């Protein structure tokens, strides 16, 4: 039994391990699936189509995910979202295009729900004086998923192409990891109660408070759509949307397009090596840029990040020009 004092930390760590497992499966699959589906199904576009559907539905699903989380709560929402991730990994085992694309749409909606719930849950389990520390613990767990999944990929997959047997064996492992991550959400507990000052001590609820909360629930659900669309047209959000769209484009390239080029040019297992390097860089960047933000301002973090992106894109372009990376290399016999 977890005492009230330590329940917040317990919940953060347990749901962090759940996310670590889910994204060990999903992020590894995201960089690998285009190569796999091309090699064992002969469909060059299926992996890309799947990722496009995932992120398109993810974007649209964020308009309704707050309502889902509001009605059923953060913990059930995370469990429900985890099921969507596991079903998507399982759909690839079927090698059925219709099922894979349908599961991609389900995953997009699940992603919107699970991330909305995650933000809500970590807020409920933290206080202003420990929120940064607990959030850092969660992100360290999440970023480690890139290392774990891609290490498995690097040591399991061999050869110039991915065989059917190897691919199915690897995706069975990913499916088991995703199911395990989903089940971990069942081990989370209700957030520790807080009083009106947000202190982690039991709060007293009267019948009048309960009645008022029920009325506020009805009003808040009705106002979610209004507040969402009202936020979209605010000047700050319009300017921020440019950065958000760029972030989405960059994520699409490095997580889906670039790993496929690496797999085509070298060997599929080198996708794992690329993912390991990216994971190490993300962890190192999170540590160093976090300290830079504290020492200076968040503006400098953005500037450093933009220069790092520019350097990365220049090196990729240089590799294109020097034919180090060829989108259509000849396969070895």
For the cut 70, the answer to whether the pLDDT of residue 221 exceeds it is no
Taking residues 87-98, report their average pLDDT.
Answer: 95
Instruction: Specify if 204 maps to a domain.
Output: no
Residue 199 lies in a domain: no
Is 174 a domain residue?
yes
- Ranking 114-123, 175-184, 238-247 by mean pLDDT, the lowest is 238-247
Query: Tell me, what CATH number does 21's domain have?
Result: 1.20.1250.20
Is 20 domain-assigned? yes
CA pair distance 17, 180, nearest whole angstrom:
10
Residue 81 confidence (pLDDT) above 80? yes
The answer to whether residue 145 is domain-embedded is yes
In which residue are the tokens 């970023």 written? 143
Residue 91 domain-assigned? yes
Residue in this structure with the two tokens 């995910």, named with its chain if needed: 65
- Is residue 201 assigned to a domain? no
Q: Is 224 exposed, middle or buried (0-12, 13-18, 19+ CB in 10 A)?
A: middle
Query: Which are the contacts of 230, defined by CB distance < 8 A and separation ≥ 6?
Result: none
Burial of 327 (0-12, 13-18, 19+ CB in 10 A): exposed
Q: What is the mean pLDDT of residues 105-117?
A: 96
Per the structure, the complete domain to which residue 160 belongs is given by 4-193+211-321
187, 178 contact by CB (below 8 A): no
Output DSSP code: residue 190.
Answer: P
Structure confidence at residue 211 (pLDDT): 45
If one counts the domains in the chain, the total is: 1
**C-alpha 168: how far from chain center:** 23
Residue 215's pLDDT is 47
In a domain, 202, yes or no: no
Residue-wise pLDDT tens digits, 288-314: 877 777 788 778 888 888 899 999 988
pLDDT in tens, 158-187: 888 888 999 999 999 999 999 999 999 999
SS3 127: coil
Contact present, 70 and 221 (Cβ < 8 Å)? yes
At residue 250, φ and ψ (nearest 5 deg) are -65, -40
C-beta separation of 90 from 100 below 8 A: no
Q: How many CB atoms lie within 10 A of CB 233?
A: 8
Q: Is the pLDDT of residue 219 over 70?
A: no
* 122-131, 221-230, 278-287: range with lowest mean pLDDT: 221-230
Maximum separation of any 2 CA atoms in the chain, in Å: 76
């Amino acid at each position: 039994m977890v005492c009230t004092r330590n329940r917040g930390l317990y919940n953060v760590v347990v749901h962090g391990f759940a996310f670590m497992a889910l994204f060990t499966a999903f992020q590894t699959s995201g960089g690998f699936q285009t190569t796999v589906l091309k090699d064992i199904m002969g469909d060059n576009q299926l992996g890309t189509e799947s990722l496009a559907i995932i992120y398109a539905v993810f974007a649209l699903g964020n308009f309704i995910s707050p309502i889902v989380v509001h009605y059923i709560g953060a913990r059930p929402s995370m469990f429900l979202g985890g099921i969507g991730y596991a079903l998507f990994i399982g759909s690839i085992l079927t090698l059925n295009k219709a099922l894979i694309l349908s599961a991609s749409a389900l995953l997009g909606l699940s992603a919107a729900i699970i991330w909305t719930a995650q933000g809500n849950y970590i807020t409920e389990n933290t206080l202003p004086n420990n929120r940064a520390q607990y959030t850092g613990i969660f992100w360290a767990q999440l970023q480690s998923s890139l290392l774990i999944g891609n290490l498995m990929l690097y040591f399991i997959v061999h050869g110039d192409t991915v065989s059917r047997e190897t691919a199915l064996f690897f995706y069975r492992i990913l499916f088991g990891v995703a199911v395990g991550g989903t089940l971990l959400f069942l081990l989370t507990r209700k957030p520790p109660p807080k009083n009106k000052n947000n202190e982690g001590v039991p709060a007293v609820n009267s019948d009048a408070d309960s009645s008022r909360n029920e009325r506020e629930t009805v009003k808040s659900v009705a106002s979610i759509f209004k507040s969402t669309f009202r936020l979209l047209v605010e000047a700050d959000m319009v300017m921020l949307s440019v950065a958000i769209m760029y972030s989405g484009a960059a994520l699409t390239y490095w997580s889906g397009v670039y790993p496929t080029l690496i797999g085509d040019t070298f060997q599929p297992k080198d996708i794992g090596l690329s993912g390991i390097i990216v994971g190490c860089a993300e962890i190192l960047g999170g540590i160093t840029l976090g300290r830079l933000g504290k020492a200076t301002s968040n503006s400098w973090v953005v500037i450093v990040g933009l220069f790092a992106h520019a350097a990365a894109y220049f090196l990729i372009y240089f590799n294109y020009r020097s034919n180090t990376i060829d989108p259509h290399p000849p396969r070895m016999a």
